[in-house]
């Protein structure tokens, strides 16, 4: 986003260049013989877009440069926002410039300072079939600048939509012309005030949609270009759009592939202000104007993790997708240019505070420099392996003997070293990065005291501030203790305790009152019953209280486990509000889900969940489980994935319930095997055989749930037992139909054929992948999320051995 600075003298100088009264362009059209100068502009007939000369300025630092650009921007939006720039590679350094139609019929920018030189041109070569004198250019309501044979002609000679900068507007084709070879490549801008070519590009070529860093050339996101794969991208985009109320109905994506062209495009209502951009950091983002906030809102990002684009933070930086901003310098490094960072240009990265004391003398020992470990990060690009370094000390020594070696890593008996700049060191943020590698960064020995000081010696001012705050909190606690039995705020009891992360320690009497003596039962599970209640707080919060049967933990252990689970926050996990631990009573208090559990909607409800809702439920549950397995401080295994433990909020957003019960049980898996067996129909084979459990048991249960979401019926009939194969067993039928290419017959008949066949096939493949007998053959939940999002292709899964044996036995009995 940019603000425009315009000096009145520049406008006056531009007007002095006009040699005829017709030089001032009016309305939306510029014809032969007219010129557009600094201070003038073309405005589309709907008033939405404007074309003119401008100077960009940062809204952050108010910095600006002397460069002038010709561009198109939103005319009615108070935040100056460009959507197309003509001369981004050749900015103009003075305002003595005109836009006009040249003698050869091209649209050109001419610099009148000194000799009249052409700064930019549309570069149309073949103009024989048109009359140059009638050529005109018009700014259309769509924001497209079109050069036509005449003001009333439909003969299009050139258009700005074919040459995007970093923005794609509704109605613009993003793709390639197979006849002319034209490819609408989009390239990010360099900074908020430098609109030149930035670090990232996106294009559609013969191999598919490609997002890459330009220098060094690294592809970091790729979507296959096969016809079936490209078509699959559209329903994925539509499902994302339909799930967000801010953009639902505002974006309608489409895909075209014929013998002349291949392209993606989206349309939007004329009254909405929306655009898709490739931003400076390498992410694709749809942006919509919020009238209430008077600002642009980025409503989605691909890739989701801001650290995924290659080298997005520059050299010698660490990227953390959960931080804002995500980029920071490595230990003992500082910004190479603080001003560039303020303008979002981080290509310069960071530089050392103290140079390395390096010499060509091979006898120099490790006392010359030190190595600082950076834990749980992705390793940088351009690593070199050293086979002779068989231990970590030898690996470190190999790096010390080279003046250009900046870091090393030693993992699984493999030594890797890096020379020169370190790019794409990304912290494990649990979004798209779960790396556990350690990078050892070479630093000057003088930096060691400062590192220790930063870690061990707090600032005196910070100590004083902390003391004041601590004293204030102590006084507040004393006041609460004095007033505890005399006052209630909004009718909310003052509870005995509050754990870390805001988890409330309830009194049992409060929960008895909130649930009306546990009178309204919502359901029951393997650990106990669940009751509905209402807290007497300001908002009369509706809660679900779960009673734990047979809980044997001590109070200290129970509180510790609850506190750890209370820190887990994810949109697809039910929020734990609090707990109660008095005597032998163990109660958990959760947020209440208005639409109950998934099993009620699949197997008992008269209203039918449509396919889009079912697909969003599968994706949401997968994301929740992936978070539990891969993004928490400790891996949490759910141990009982089934429709009864998948709850739906008012918008049918799925939330996994009862997660972390293994953690509540002290994480003693060997004991869990003898006290908890999950639910019949969702148990992984290895659990029944008595081996140690892993997160793959949740993957198996999730696969069985997918079967039920597809079919709308239990994966096994009530008469099915492990010793009888006579009863119908849906997983056997599902994988058989999948291999036969007949997934339509598997879908819940209540949908009446209203479903996406490709999505059904994808879900069915994932389900069969998840229920493989050997746990090593099953995917991780992270891989499941990628497949369901359409970001990873999936092969045809093989028939699980157990199901194959059941099928063979069934065939033999029928002979």
Question: Strand, helix or coil at 654?
Answer: strand
Q: Is-contact 572 645, C-beta < 8 A?
A: no
Residue 432 is a catalytic residue: no
Cα atoms found within 13 Å of the Cα of residue 265, Cβ hemisphere only: 13
- Per DSSP, 245 falls in state T
Beta bridge partners of 590: 544, 576
**Which residues in 353-437 belong to E strands, given as ranges?**
369-375, 384-386, 405-411, 414-419, 425-426
Residues 125-154 as b/e (b if ≥16 CB within 10 A, e otherwise) read eeeeebeeebbbbbbbebbbbbbbbeeeee
Question: Strand, helix or coil at 234?
Answer: helix
Q: Is-contact 14 96, C-beta < 8 A?
A: yes
Catalytic residue among 28, 279, 447, 640: 640
- Whole-angstrom CA distances from 163 to 88, 219, 274, 427 are 12, 22, 19, 36
The Cα–Cα gap between 352 and 362 comes to 23
Question: Strand, helix or coil at 608?
Answer: coil
Helix axes 757-770, 227-242, angle to 10 degrees: 90
Beta bridge partners of 505: 497, 579
Residue partners of 742: CB distance under 8 A and separation at least 6: none
Cα atoms found within 13 Å of the Cα of residue 145, Cβ hemisphere only: 23
Question: Strand, helix or coil at 328?
Answer: strand
Both tokens of 564, joined, read: 């750890």
The answer on whether 737 is annotated among ligand-binding residues is no
Q: Residue for token digits 């400790």?
A: 634
Phi, psi of 634 (to 5 degrees): -120, 140
For 480, the enclosing helix (H) or strand (E) is: helix 460-483
Cα atoms found within 13 Å of the Cα of residue 700, Cβ hemisphere only: 27
**Sign of the CA dihedral with 549 first, then 554, 555, and 560 last:** negative
Annotated binding site: 546
Annotated binding site for ATP: 546
Active centre residues (catalytic): 640
């Amino acid at each position: 986003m940019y603000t425009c600075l315009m000096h009145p003298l520049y406008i006056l100088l531009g007007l002095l260049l006009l040699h005829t009264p017709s030089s001032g362009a009016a309305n939306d059209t510029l014809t032969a013989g007219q010129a557009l100068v600094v201070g003038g502009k073309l405005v589309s007939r709907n008033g939405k877009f404007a074309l003119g000369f401008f100077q960009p300025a940062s809204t952050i630092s108010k910095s600006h440069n002397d460069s002038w650009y010709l561009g198109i921007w939103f005319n009615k939006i108070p935040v100056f926002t460009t959507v197309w720039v003509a001369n981004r590679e050749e900015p103009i350094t003075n305002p003595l410039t005109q836009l006009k139609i040249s003698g050869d019929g091209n649209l050109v920018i001419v610099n009148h300072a000194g000799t009249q030189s052409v700064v930019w041109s549309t570069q149309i070569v073949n103009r024989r079939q048109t009359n140059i004198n009638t050529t005109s250019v018009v700014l259309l309501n769509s924001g497209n600048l079109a050069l036509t044979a005449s003001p009333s002609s439909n003969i299009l000679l050139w258009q700005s939509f074919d040459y995007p900068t970093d923005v794609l507007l509704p109605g613009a084709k993003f793709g390639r012309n197979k006849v002319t070879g034209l490819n609408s490549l989009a390239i990010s801008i360099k900074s908020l005030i430098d609109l030149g070519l930035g670090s990232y590009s996106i294009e559609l070529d013969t191999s598919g949609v490609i997002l890459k860093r330009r220098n060094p050339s690294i592809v970091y996101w790729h979507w296959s270009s096969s016809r079936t794969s490209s078509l699959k991208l559209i329903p994925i985009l539509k499902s994302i759009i339909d799930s967000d109320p801010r953009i639902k109905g505002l974006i309608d994506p489409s895909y075209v592939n014929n013998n002349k062209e291949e392209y993606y495009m989206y349309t939007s209502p004329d009254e909405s202000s929306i655009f898709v951009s490739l931003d400076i950091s390498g992410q694709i983002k749809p942006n919509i104007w919020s009238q209430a906030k008077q600002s642009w809102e980025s409503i989605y990002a691909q890739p989701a993790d801001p650290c995924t684009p290659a080298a997005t933070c520059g050299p010698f930086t660490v990227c953390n997708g959960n931080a804002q901003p995500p980029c920071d310098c490595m230990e003992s490094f500082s910004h190479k240019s603080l001003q560039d960072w303020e303008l979002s240009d981080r290509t310069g990265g960071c530089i050392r505070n103290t140079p390395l004391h390096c010499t060509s003398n091979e006898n120099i020992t490790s006392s010359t420099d030190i190595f600082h470990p950076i834990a749980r990060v992705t390793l940088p690009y351009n690593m070199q392996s050293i086979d002779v370094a068989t231990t970590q000390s030898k690996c470190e020594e190999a790096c010390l003997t080279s003046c250009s070696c900046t870091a090393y890593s030693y993992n699984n008996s493999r030594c890797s070293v890096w020379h020169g700049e370190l790019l794409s060191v990304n912290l494990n943020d649990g979004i798209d990065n779960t790396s556990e590698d350690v990078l050892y960064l070479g630093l000057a020995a003088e930096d060691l005291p400062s590192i220790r000081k930063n870690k061990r010696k707090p600032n005196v001012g910070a100590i004083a501030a902390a003391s004041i705050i601590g004293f204030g909190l102590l006084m507040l606690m004393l006041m609460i203790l004095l007033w505890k039995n005399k006052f209630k705020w909004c009718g909310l009891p003052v509870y005995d305790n509050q754990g870390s992360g805001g988890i409330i320690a309830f009194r049992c009497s409060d929960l008895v009152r909130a649930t009306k003596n546990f009178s309204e039962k919502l359901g029951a599970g393997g650990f106990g019953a669940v009751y509905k209640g209402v807290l007497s707080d300001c908002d009369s919060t509706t809660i679900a209280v779960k009673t734990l049967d047979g809980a044997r933990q001590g109070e200290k252990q129970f509180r510790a486990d609850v506190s750890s689970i209370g820190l887990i926050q994810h949109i697809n996990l039910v929020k734990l509000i609090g707990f109660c631990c008095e005597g032998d009573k163990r109660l958990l208090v959760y947020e209440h889900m208005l639409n109950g559990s998934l099993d009620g909607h699949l197997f008992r409800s008269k209203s039918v969940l449509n396919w889009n809702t079912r697909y969003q439920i599968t994706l949401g549950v997968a994301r929740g489980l992936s978070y539990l397995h891969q993004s928490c401080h400790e891996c949490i295994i759910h141990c009982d994935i089934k429709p009864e433990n998948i709850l739906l909020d008012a918008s049918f957003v799925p939330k996994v319930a009862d997660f972390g019960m293994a953690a509540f049980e002290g994480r003693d898996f060997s004991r869990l095997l003898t006290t908890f067996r999950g639910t019949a129909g969702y148990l992984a084979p290895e659990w029944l055989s008595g081996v140690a459990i892993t997160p793959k048991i949740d993957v198996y249960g999730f696969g069985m749930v997918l079967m039920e979401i597809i079919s709308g019926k239990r994966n096994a009939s009530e008469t099915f037992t492990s010793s009888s194969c006579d009863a119908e067993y849906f997983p056997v039928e599902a994988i058989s139909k999948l291999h036969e290419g007949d997934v339509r017959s598997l879908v819940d008949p209540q949908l009446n054929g209203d479903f996406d066949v490709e999505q059904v096939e994808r879900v069915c493949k994932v389900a069969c992948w998840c229920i493989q007998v050997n746990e090593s053959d099953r995917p991780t939940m992270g891989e499941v999320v990628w497949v369901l999002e359409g970001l990873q292709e999936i092969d045809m899964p093989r028939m699980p051995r157990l199901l194959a044996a059941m099928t063979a036995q069934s065939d033999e009995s029928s002979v």
